[in-house]
Structure 1
Amino acid sequence: MDLYQHFRPEEQPFIDQVLDWKDQVERNYIPVVSDFLDPREQLIFKSIIGQDENLQLSFNGGYEYAERKRAFLAPFYETVDFDDFNISILQGTYASKFVSLSHRDLLGTIMSLGLHRKKLGDLVVKEGQFQIICDQDLALYLKMNVEKIKNTRITLKEVDETNVLKPIHHWQDQEGTVSSTRLDVVLKEIYQISRQKAQTFIEKEAVKVNHRVVNNPSFQLESGDLISLKSYGRSKIVDLLGETRKNKVRIKTAKLK
């Protein structure tokens, strides 16, 4: 199918899943709700559904600028509200005077329970409190099993979407030109490091793309990709803006400050 040529080979299973959801909605007239999707998966979903007037596609991750969101695909006439996404928001508190809690600590505790990341949305940590955005069916299990983080006892309670903690993200946009969209080349551009150093980071598995370790320097980046470089922070590919007359690639990126 020509559709696949526009995406990476490893994205084919997700494309097949989206096509299956589309077929279900068209055949049965019953909406489907996805797991939590990263920005790249959201972009793929939008690309496949396109401007189909018989369908409507909505995303929700608990708040407007959430990174990880669930998709709701339905016939065009359906009314969509927050409850349709089956999202729970769990809130916990901790003594920030005695312990420092990070996003990594929270995610590590949850993943140690053997859960799949796709059932979790954004994790928001602020001084003295945190929130876990997750699948509704997972909420009770987390309330029963997440009792300690970094040896600090915590209690989780459910709050509604009007009380969600919204992280303050400062993304600094920049545009530039690169010789290609290879991972090592783009890392060099975004983080202002040598290409050799970028390759070393990649080979040492210090680089993630869309939350997955990538150890291939020639990995081709696409619009919507999230990048994480250990000790250097996070960035993303906002858009690929085409080629210059000298066959360079114009690229728009953003780095989290």
Structure 2
Amino acid sequence: MMKDEELLAKRLSELSRQAFHRGIITYTDFLNLNEQSILHALPKNSLYTEYVLFGGYDGAERQMAAFLPDDALSLRCRYGAEQEREGGIPPEGELFSDRIAVLEISPLHAKYADELTHRDYLGALMNLGVERGKMGDILMDDPKALVFLDAKLKAFVMEELTRIRRTSVQTAEVDFQDFSYTPNVQEIKGTVSSVRLDALLALAFSSSRSSLTGLIGAGKVFVNGRLTTSNGCHIREQDIISVRGMGKFRFAGQLSVTKKNRICVLIHKYI
């Protein structure tokens, strides 16, 4: 483990300790996939409490962690037992309702706006001094974008972000409680010999198994936020596989088995 990863592991353990001893919910900044994997890999004796991850919507890549003392753990169970409200956030998202803000950034005059990219929005926010850990996912919805942000910075960004490249922009808050997001996905059907990580990667990214095993060994593949280095890792229905620099997909499940005993599967690739 590198030094910065060791520091993060100690910080995560300390937040869990504070939650346990002080009886309060403690929160991290937004964690990327590698940082989430470090959290998942912490030994049990380093954690004093349970934790949950949430990034503002179901399936978010960058997520905050909340460490839950016993009282909050019972609250989590209560939320989990309730039926999720139609069109609203997942039940556990209630724990983050005052921690995550959703901002819609759009051009003042769409007709004359530059074609802004994810990098443009990210760069504009970082130029304001907003650290990457204070930002969650940035969802592109041309000609606007949705940005997930540490709620403490909401007012600052809404006041200060007025221009991206040569485009004048306006920022509005989206009601976190009622926010819902359905990602655009490409359905991919195909056959595999087994529901292994390397086989599904080859199907999702139209490459051979051998060309993708290097990505797994290089630590670029995550299953549900956990770093995975085994080619033969068995994938379960609804698992989300993310590959750095290539994208992510959800394994929607098995459809049937062919006469040659190959498995027909369905993948939802995020686009």
- The interval holding the TM-score normalised by the smaller chain is 0.5 to 0.7
Residue of 112, 137, 140 corresponding to 1:98: 112
**How much does 1:115 deviate?**
2.2
The size of the alignment, in residue pairs, is 216
What letter corresponds to residue 16 of structure 2 in structure 1?
Answer: K
When residues 53 and 115 of structure 1 are mapped into structure 2, their CA distance, relative to the original with a 3 A threshold, is closer
When residues 64 and 103 of structure 1 are mapped into structure 2, their CA distance, relative to the original with a 3 A threshold, is same
Instruction: Classify the secondary structure of the residue corresponding to 1:161.
Output: coil
TM-superposition CA deviations, 1:58-94 (whole Å, max 9, x none) = 2221111111111111113213524555111112222
TM-superposition CA deviations, 1:151-206 (whole Å, max 9, x none) = 111121222124546262437789799xxx9xxxxx99986789xx99xxxxxxxx
* Paired residues for 1:111-190 under 5 Å: 111-164=126-179, 166=181, 168-170=183-185
When residues 26 and 140 of structure 1 are mapped into structure 2, their CA distance, relative to the original with a 3 A threshold, is same
Residue of 28, 36, 43 corresponding to 2:30: 36
**How much does 1:18 deviate?**
1.4
Instruction: Classify the secondary structure of the residue corresponding to 1:90.
Output: strand
Identity value in percent:
21
* Distance across 2 between alignment mates of 1:254 and 1:40: 22
What letter corresponds to residue 101 of structure 1 in structure 2?
Answer: L
> Structure 2-normalised TM-score?
0.60
Residue of 69, 84, 87 corresponding to 2:63: 69
When residues 114 and 171 of structure 1 are mapped into structure 2, their CA distance, relative to the original with a 3 A threshold, is farther
Instruction: Classify the secondary structure of the residue corresponding to 1:168.
Output: coil
**How much does 1:43 deviate?**
3.5
Unaligned runs of 5+ residues in structure 2 are 77-93, 228-241, 252-266
Contact 2:185 2:268 in 1 (8 A): no
* Paired residues for 1:51-90 under 5 Å: 55-78=49-72, 79=75, 81-83=94-96, 86-90=99-103
**How much does 1:110 deviate?**
0.9
* Distance across 2 between alignment mates of 1:16 and 1:52: 8
Unaligned runs of 5+ residues in structure 1 are 182-186, 199-217, 239-252
* Distance across 2 between alignment mates of 1:108 and 1:54: 37
Instruction: Classify the secondary structure of the residue corresponding to 1:35.
Output: coil
When residues 108 and 66 of structure 1 are mapped into structure 2, their CA distance, relative to the original with a 3 A threshold, is same
> Structure 1-normalised TM-score?
0.63
Contact 2:187 2:268 in 1 (8 A): yes
Contact 2:23 2:70 in 1 (8 A): no
When residues 55 and 11 of structure 1 are mapped into structure 2, their CA distance, relative to the original with a 3 A threshold, is same
Q: Is 2:15 the counterpart of 1:21?
A: yes
What letter corresponds to residue 112 of structure 2 in structure 1?
Answer: F
Contact 1:72 1:85 in 2 (8 A): no
What letter corresponds to residue 37 of structure 1 in structure 2?
Answer: L
What letter corresponds to residue 72 of structure 1 in structure 2?
Answer: A
When residues 127 and 165 of structure 1 are mapped into structure 2, their CA distance, relative to the original with a 3 A threshold, is farther
TM-superposition CA deviations, 1:26-50 (whole Å, max 9, x none) = 2222220110012332233234376
When residues 172 and 36 of structure 1 are mapped into structure 2, their CA distance, relative to the original with a 3 A threshold, is farther
Q: What is the RMSD of the two structures over their aligned residues, measured on CA atoms?
A: 4.3
Instruction: Classify the secondary structure of the residue corresponding to 1:36.
Output: coil
Contact 1:124 1:167 in 2 (8 A): no
